[in-house]
């Protein structure tokens, strides 16, 4: 299918070898009855430990009205919250990304890592899709495991983080899920390919089963090539992802694909994701432009920005992060709004009030139907 299958290994210690994919210890382990209490205790103790005066950007959820009599209303058995976020790699923040208006204190990893964790736990997603993760073994897997999550990580083959002095290893994509809501059926990593060569970018997939209904969803996360001039490369990478997903689309497996596509909505890769297979994918944040949305939405189909930073080349707010989903199978119930430019502040992102140059996208979704099952990826 035009992709190299990533090799998954079990996490042994915080000093796992680089360039391996780290996955969950077992697929079908049951969660004991005290699991929810342990998660709550961890979150409460974490919140009590935050004494820093720099509060995260305030955001609220916007309810989305869907006119569809086929939707299972308020069916918590198949409802879930998903977060998409490029968290900004530690090495890139300090060494390569040149955020000229960002205070030095806001670039410190010991400060940023707690802000990133705070943002995740604040919204308690059931599925977490992250990009630019370069501290999986020594921080995120440890801390999010304490909060009850199970996670996997797939590094880039030739991460730019490795070019930075005193780096913490390669960056890549990570995905975590709540084992009270889901059971892992299978998971797989792929290195993306063009027609002629392998690229330095990856995609990570998990096939998850709702514990209360047995229905399954396929969730993926990816991070495509950055910078202007690489539009055709991003298009090739997007087509490779779609080639991988094609058999699951044909098998009626519901799909959610999150990522930093490094592409604005007018780029070919965005269009091919939306128009593939008779427009099989919607983009969740276009729900905010729906006139039926209960609060004021955005004027355009996508929000005006999901990332906003100032580099030596200038200031560039743009939308490049998305939550794509099989439109026939999911209902979008609510969306976490994006902060206003006034709230973000004149120095933009990252800042003391937000640890990444990208904003997290968070959606409440419901799976609509009983679906045909898939046993492996």
- 36 lies in a domain? no
Distance in angstroms (rounded) separating the CA atoms of residues 297 and 63: 11
Q: Is 124 exposed, middle or buried (0-12, 13-18, 19+ CB in 10 A)?
A: middle
Confidence of residue 16 (pLDDT cuts 50, 70, 90): very low
Closest CA to 217 of 178, 259, 258, 182: 182
pLDDT at 12 over 50: no
- 311 lies in a domain? yes
Q: What is the rounded average pLDDT for all residues in the chain?
A: 85
2-11, 105-114, 287-296: the lowest-pLDDT one: 2-11
Distance in angstroms (rounded) separating the CA atoms of residues 135 and 65: 38
pLDDT at 68: 53
DSSP state of 329: T
Confidence of residue 289 (pLDDT cuts 50, 70, 90): low
- 40 lies in a domain? no
Per residue in 134-185, pLDDT (tens digit) is 999 999 999 999 999 999 999 999 999 999 999 999 999 999 999 999 999 9
CB atoms within 10 A of CB 310: 19
- 31 lies in a domain? no
Confidence of residue 51 (pLDDT cuts 50, 70, 90): low
pLDDT at 275: 87
CA atoms within 13 A on the CB side of 301: 9
Tell me the residue range of the domain where 150 lies.
4-25+48-367
Both tokens of 271, joined, read 């269009």
- 238 lies in a domain? yes
Both tokens of 175, joined, read 């995905």
pLDDT at 101: 92
Residue found under tokens 């993760």: 133
- 59 lies in a domain? yes
Total number of domains in the chain: 1
pLDDT at 314: 92
Q: What is the H or E stretch that residue 123 is in? A: helix 109-123
Per residue in 65-115, pLDDT (tens digit) is 765 544 445 578 999 999 999 999 999 998 877 899 999 999 999 999 999
Beta-strand pair 79-86/61-63: unpaired
Tell me if 175 sits within 8 A of 204, measured CB to CB: yes
Per residue in 261-270, pLDDT (tens digit) is 999 999 999 9
Q: How many angstroms separate the first and last alpha carbons of the chain? A: 12
- 306 lies in a domain? yes
Which residues are CB-neighbours of 109 under 8 A, at least 6 positions away? Answer: 90, 93, 94, 135
Percent of the chain's residues with pLDDT above 90: 69
Say which residue, 353 or 328, is predicted with more confidence.
353
CATH number at residue 309: 3.60.10.10
Closest CA to 358 of 9, 124, 79, 119: 119
Say which residue, 280 or 130, is predicted with more confidence.
130
CA atoms within 13 A on the CB side of 355: 22
Percent of the chain's residues with pLDDT above 70: 79
pLDDT at 131 over 60: yes
């Amino acid at each position: 299918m035009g992709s190299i299958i990533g090799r998954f290994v079990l996490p042994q210690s915080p000093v796992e070898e680089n360039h391996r994919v780290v996955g969950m210890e077992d697929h079908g382990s049951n969660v004991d009855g005290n699991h929810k209490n342990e998660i709550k205790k961890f979150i409460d103790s974490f919140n009590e430990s935050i004494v820093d005066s720099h509060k995260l950007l305030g955001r609220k959820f916007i309810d989305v009205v869907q006119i569809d009599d086929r939707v299972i209303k308020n069916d918590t058995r198949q409802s879930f919250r998903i977060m998409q976020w490029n968290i900004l790699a530690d090495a890139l923040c300090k060494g390569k990304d040149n955020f000229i208006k960002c205070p030095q204190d806001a670039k410190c990893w010991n400060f940023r890592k707690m802000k990133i964790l705070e943002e995740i736990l604040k919204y308690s997603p059931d599925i977490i899709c992250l990009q630019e993760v370069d501290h999986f073994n020594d921080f995120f897997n440890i801390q999010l495991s304490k909060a009850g999550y199970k996670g996997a990580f797939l590094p880039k083959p030739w991460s730019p983080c490795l070019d930075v002095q005193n780096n913490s290893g390669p960056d890549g994509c990570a995905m975590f899920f709540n084992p009270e809501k889901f059971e892992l059926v299978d998971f797989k990593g792929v290195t993306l390919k063009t027609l002629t060569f392998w690229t330095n970018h990856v995609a990570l997939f998990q096939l998850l089963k709702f514990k209360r209904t047995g229905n399954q969803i396929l969730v993926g996360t990816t991070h495509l090539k950055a910078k202007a001039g690489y539009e055709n490369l991003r298009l090739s990478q997007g087509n490779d992802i779609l080639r991988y997903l094609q058999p699951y689309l044909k098998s009626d497996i519901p799909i959610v694909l999150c990522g930093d596509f490094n592409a604005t909505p007018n780029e070919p890769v965005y269009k091919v994701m939306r128009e593939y297979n008779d427009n099989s994918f919607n983009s969740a944040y276009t729900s905010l432009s729906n006139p039926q949305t209960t609060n004021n939405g955005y004027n355009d189909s996508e929000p005006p920005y999901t990332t906003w930073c100032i580099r030596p080349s200038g200031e560039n707010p743009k939308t490049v992060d998305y939550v794509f989903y099989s439109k026939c199978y999911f209902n979008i119930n609510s969306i976490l709004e994006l902060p206003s430019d006034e709230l973000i502040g004149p120095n933009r992102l990252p800042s003391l009030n937000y640890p990444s140059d990208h904003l997290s996208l968070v959606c409440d979704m419901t799976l609509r139907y009983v679906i045909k099952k898939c046993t492996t990826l």
